[in-house]
Structure 1
Amino acid sequence: MEASRAIWGHRRYLDENHSWRKDKKSFDGTRERGYAASKLTGDDILKQVEDLIGITLTNHPEKKIKISHERQGDNWNKKDVMHIEKNIYDSLLGTIMNIKGKTKDNIKARLDLQAMSLKLELHPIQRGDKLVMPAACYTLSQEEQSKFCRFLKELKVLDGFSSNISQCVNLKERKILGLKSHDCHVLLQRLIPVSIRGLLPAKVCEPIIELSIFFTILCAKTLRVDELKQIDEQIPLTLCKLEKIFPPLIFDVMLHLVVHLASEAILGGPIRFRWMYPVERQLYTYKSYIRNRARPEGSIAEGYIADECMTFCSRYLKGFETKFNRLERNYEDDNRECNEAQLSIFRHSGRALGAATTRYLDEREWLQAHIYVLKNCDEVQPHIEDYNEFVREPTNHYDDKDWDKNFIDWFQALVYQSYREDDDLLSLSRGPSKIVKCFTGFVINGHRFHTESRDNCLSTQSSGVAVVGDAGDGGDIDYYGALVEVVELEYPGRRKTNDHFILAGQASQVFYVEDITNEGWHAVLKAQPRDSYDMPPDTDDCEITDDGVEAYLQDESFDAQAIALTSLEDDYINLRRSDIDPIIVNSVLTSKKRKKTQAEN
């Protein structure tokens, strides 16, 4: 039986009194009375490897010593998180899309279910010399497969977020080919949870989305121990939900290893310092050194020495661009004049992109830009409070509709009377020039923003903007939009750059993906620049890190309690789909292949 190779039975990781331990029908037909193995201490691990001292690790056929892990009682064939994500993605997507050769829901898996008397709705039906496989609830129809492929084909992500996944999609054949490990990483964590909503039943989407959130938290740049403990308690429930839905063949060692990843991260720290991405990139560099395929080792050694020599010499070259003095792609101009400004609104960093064009601001645009700058200047806030108190006096009659214009006039008169010697405040009160410079992009805080018009000509999407605003009840709320124009406002003696409606420093970057279920709507995915960290405030507690959960190249806001409060009621799942035609296979050929496989085993 193919199912004998499956590693399931994750109910043993649940609490002793959990109701799923007694559920025979939904799982493997038995009650779960076992418990998870106790975690090994450092001394236990040293005892397991003490007989390996003195053994030479080599691939030479004459010197290589085979180590029996079964005799030693250990399991040291563990893969890293990069390969675990890649294999889980292949198994899930292959089964959902019913990809030939990759799906875990084949005729062998159905016959195994029939032999074990599990999931009766999915048992194959004999019709003459044919076997009819009912469509499972986790299988997409051809129309749904087309929607999923079209979603990926039309996808535009941030600059530097991932490779161009749309090039790997074949709409005509409904196939996704040529994905790299990092593409699978992005799809599993960010894109699959958004794309399968509405295509699959909620009971099927739920564990897949929970698995995605698990890897999002696990692969963060900075980790919170309390969140790791929470997902460590949640992941057995997620795997049990998958056991109730998917066939046994999908539960290979890769999916089982997920149980141990959170506790491993608590001991070893962030995953990004231990996974294989930097190693794979360096190996790719070494392979590029090969010029003589008959002597690859010598070519790599020669290329490595040449690279080291050039690196050493470049340290002493002045006036030349080297990798030691080369600016980053998203570097920001260091304007000394702005850094020395007294007002915070004039102290900024950033770099405009594209050729500058000039235009004239109409009265409404000028008023909107001027009042927005005043409201967001820290030094002006006390004057705004004074003005509000001044307006509340019964002797003053001001209309709230003209608050902006009246405040500008009041503030300008105040500065002329009391702060005439302050050049910065005087320039601010007069307002910007109505002749402005416009750009098509801007780099700030590690983000590379483009306007919508510029995005239309690119295969990436960098025009999404999010800004934190006032929700009206004292709290904050995120507002989302698109960057239409980057405008440089020029003040007398000062200059600052901002976009049309918000200040550049207030913008964080997002990108929008199409909502398959609701036509005309889009889902928002947040992102963080690759080389930036949200550092926590100074604290002596080493377990406290940043307040956000940041995955590789991105940051997804999430409710940590949501994955722990999953309802366990109404556990019934209809495993069969009646709206999809069943798959018919030849039972004679299947029987012959099955007997041949059993004989070989």
Structure 2
Amino acid sequence: MFVTRHTQKGRLQKATCDDTPRLPIFSRRGRPSGKSVVRELNNTDYYAASLYVLQNCDEIEPLVQEHRNILVDLGVNVDEMHRHEFICSFKERITKLYNDGNEQVDEHVRSLAWGPDKRATHYPCYNVNGFRFRTKQRDDGKKTQNSGVMVRGEYQNMSYYGLITDIIELRYTKGNSVVLFKCDWYDVAREGIGYKLDCHGITSINRTRKLNTQEPFVLACQAVQVYYVNCIKDPAWSVVIETKPRNLYDMPANEEEPYQEEEVQRFNTHVAKANEEDDEMN
């Protein structure tokens, strides 16, 4: 589907347990809230989450490209074979480099190569990037929406929209961890069928159509919060509205976001004026 590159390339965060700098992918951003549960991931989610972490670690991008180039030379389906083989290939490559005495392969790179524990910590809420995110299940019955998510992909600057179904923290050796959102993604592959962009730059998505993808995960630090307002003329369609980020320390203790209703009112006023202008032009 998409790969949204992890940012802050080249910046390393000092580890708390030793003097070896952590990989940026292991830098902790945000904080969880609510009661956590530890349970084992199924094989599909475990593999998809592990692969997504690897493909969003800038430091191993040369090895990712090296593996893809090998597959190109073999004349096989590159995307499919890379998805199926890269985790094992990366582990073998790092093990060989370490045994050969390569100084760039430190304990945190080895931690990444060995992969996460299959038992992940699941959270109902997570605060990051100035947003309070909730899973769709936690959102049910709430006055405001906090499960809507958007990420910006690399391909043609396309944005992807969805709903968070799970928030997981993968735990690696050496105290490393990565937080990801598992999402149901709406179909933005087909304009007019899955999504629409009007003359005012407003995006609408068809909530009855989901994207067929084997990549349901994104890093928590990549997420932008959105919420969806049902269209009056066709309830299958919803308008996408970006939530304004807030200082995490200014967030109220309760989970409701009263300003969201104000945003909807302002949006409805904007749409009404736009419709009036369109009617006058016609």
Name the residue aligned to 1:364. Answer: 44
Q: Is the Cα–Cα contact under 8 Å of residues 135 and 166 in structure 2 kept in the other structure?
A: yes
Name the residue aligned to 1:386. Answer: 66
Q: Is the Cα–Cα contact under 8 Å of residues 14 and 22 in structure 2 kept in the other structure?
A: no
1:477 paired to 2:161: no
SS in structure 1 of the partner of residue 83 of structure 2: helix
In 2, the alpha carbon distance for the partners of 1:404 and 1:391 equals 11
Change (3 A) 1:488 1:387: same
Change (3 A) 1:444 1:572: closer
Shift of residue 340, structure 1, vs aligned partner? 7.3
Q: Is the Cα–Cα contact under 8 Å of residues 510 and 527 in structure 1 kept in the other structure?
A: yes
Q: Is the Cα–Cα contact under 8 Å of residues 350 and 444 in structure 1 kept in the other structure?
A: yes
Residues 65-104 of structure 1: CA deviation (Å, up to 9, x unaligned): xxxxxxxxxxxxxxxxxxxxxxxxxxxxxxxxxxxxxxxx
In 1, the alpha carbon distance for the partners of 2:247 and 2:278 equals 43
Name the residue aligned to 1:460. Answer: 144
1:411 paired to 2:76: no
SS in structure 2 of the partner of residue 414 of structure 1: helix
Shift of residue 376, structure 1, vs aligned partner? 0.5
In 2, the alpha carbon distance for the partners of 1:468 and 1:480 equals 9
Q: Is the Cα–Cα contact under 8 Å of residues 444 and 505 in structure 1 kept in the other structure?
A: yes
Q: Is the Cα–Cα contact under 8 Å of residues 71 and 82 in structure 2 kept in the other structure?
A: no
Residues 115-165 of structure 1: CA deviation (Å, up to 9, x unaligned): xxxxxxxxxxxxxxxxxxxxxxxxxxxxxxxxxxxxxxxxxxxxxxxxxxx
1:488 paired to 2:174: no
1:524 paired to 2:240: yes
Name the residue aligned to 2:181. Answer: 499
Name the residue aligned to 1:437. Answer: 121
In 1, the alpha carbon distance for the partners of 2:110 and 2:40 equals 23
1:514 paired to 2:198: no
Q: Is the Cα–Cα contact under 8 Å of residues 341 and 347 in structure 1 kept in the other structure?
A: no
Residues 367-391 of structure 1: CA deviation (Å, up to 9, x unaligned): 1001100011111111111112222
In 2, the alpha carbon distance for the partners of 1:520 and 1:347 equals 39
The residue type equivalent to 1:498 in the other structure is L
Residues 238-289 of structure 1: CA deviation (Å, up to 9, x unaligned): xxxxxxxxxxxxxxxxxxxxxxxxxxxxxxxxxxxxxxxxxxxxxxxxxxxx
Shift of residue 571, structure 1, vs aligned partner? 6.2
Q: Is the Cα–Cα contact under 8 Å of residues 437 and 488 in structure 1 kept in the other structure?
A: yes
Change (3 A) 1:514 1:415: same
The residue type equivalent to 2:181 in the other structure is D
Shift of residue 510, structure 1, vs aligned partner? 0.5
Shift of residue 408, structure 1, vs aligned partner? 1.2
Q: Is the Cα–Cα contact under 8 Å of residues 514 and 523 in structure 1 kept in the other structure?
A: yes
In 2, the alpha carbon distance for the partners of 1:569 and 1:437 equals 50
In 2, the alpha carbon distance for the partners of 1:499 and 1:384 equals 23
Change (3 A) 1:393 1:434: same
Shift of residue 405, structure 1, vs aligned partner? 2.4
Aligned alpha-carbon RMSD (Å):
3.0
Count of residue pairs brought into register by the alignment: 203
In 1, the alpha carbon distance for the partners of 2:281 and 2:180 equals 54
SS in structure 2 of the partner of residue 483 of structure 1: strand
The residue type equivalent to 2:235 in the other structure is E
SS in structure 1 of the partner of residue 38 of structure 2: strand
Q: Is the Cα–Cα contact under 8 Å of residues 359 and 437 in structure 1 kept in the other structure?
A: yes
Change (3 A) 1:518 1:402: same
Q: Is the Cα–Cα contact under 8 Å of residues 359 and 438 in structure 1 kept in the other structure?
A: yes
Name the residue aligned to 2:80. Answer: 401
Shift of residue 341, structure 1, vs aligned partner? 4.2
- Matched ranges for 1:5-24 at <5 A: none
In 1, the alpha carbon distance for the partners of 2:173 and 2:278 equals 67
SS in structure 2 of the partner of residue 524 of structure 1: strand
What TM-score does the superposition give when structure 2 sets the normalisation length?
0.64
Gaps of at least 5 residues in structure 2 are 1-12, 100-104, 183-216, 249-261, 264-276
Change (3 A) 1:449 1:335: farther
Change (3 A) 1:570 1:482: closer
Change (3 A) 1:362 1:380: same
The residue type equivalent to 1:497 in the other structure is V
Name the residue aligned to 1:374. Answer: 54
The structure where helix makes up a greater share of residues is 1
In 2, the alpha carbon distance for the partners of 1:372 and 1:521 equals 30
Name the residue aligned to 1:447. Answer: 131
Shift of residue 424, structure 1, vs aligned partner? 0.9
Gaps of at least 5 residues in structure 1 are 1-333, 533-552, 555-567, 574-601
Change (3 A) 1:457 1:406: same
Question: Percentage identity across aligned positions?
Answer: 32
Shift of residue 335, structure 1, vs aligned partner? 9.9
SS in structure 1 of the partner of residue 143 of structure 2: coil
In 2, the alpha carbon distance for the partners of 1:425 and 1:414 equals 11
What TM-score does the superposition give when structure 1 sets the normalisation length?
0.31
Shift of residue 572, structure 1, vs aligned partner? 7.3
In 2, the alpha carbon distance for the partners of 1:572 and 1:499 equals 44
1:424 paired to 2:108: yes
Change (3 A) 1:361 1:340: same
Q: Is the Cα–Cα contact under 8 Å of residues 67 and 82 in structure 2 kept in the other structure?
A: no
Residues 377-412 of structure 1: CA deviation (Å, up to 9, x unaligned): 111111111112222235x86765332121111111
In 2, the alpha carbon distance for the partners of 1:511 and 1:569 equals 25
Shift of residue 365, structure 1, vs aligned partner? 0.9
Q: Is the Cα–Cα contact under 8 Å of residues 357 and 437 in structure 1 kept in the other structure?
A: yes
In 2, the alpha carbon distance for the partners of 1:477 and 1:393 equals 29
Q: Is the Cα–Cα contact under 8 Å of residues 427 and 492 in structure 1 kept in the other structure?
A: yes
Change (3 A) 1:478 1:342: same
Structure of larger gyration radius: 1
The structure where strand makes up a greater share of residues is 2
In 2, the alpha carbon distance for the partners of 1:489 and 1:497 equals 6
Residues 522-545 of structure 1: CA deviation (Å, up to 9, x unaligned): 11001222449xxxxxxxxxxxxx
Change (3 A) 1:489 1:570: closer
Change (3 A) 1:424 1:515: same
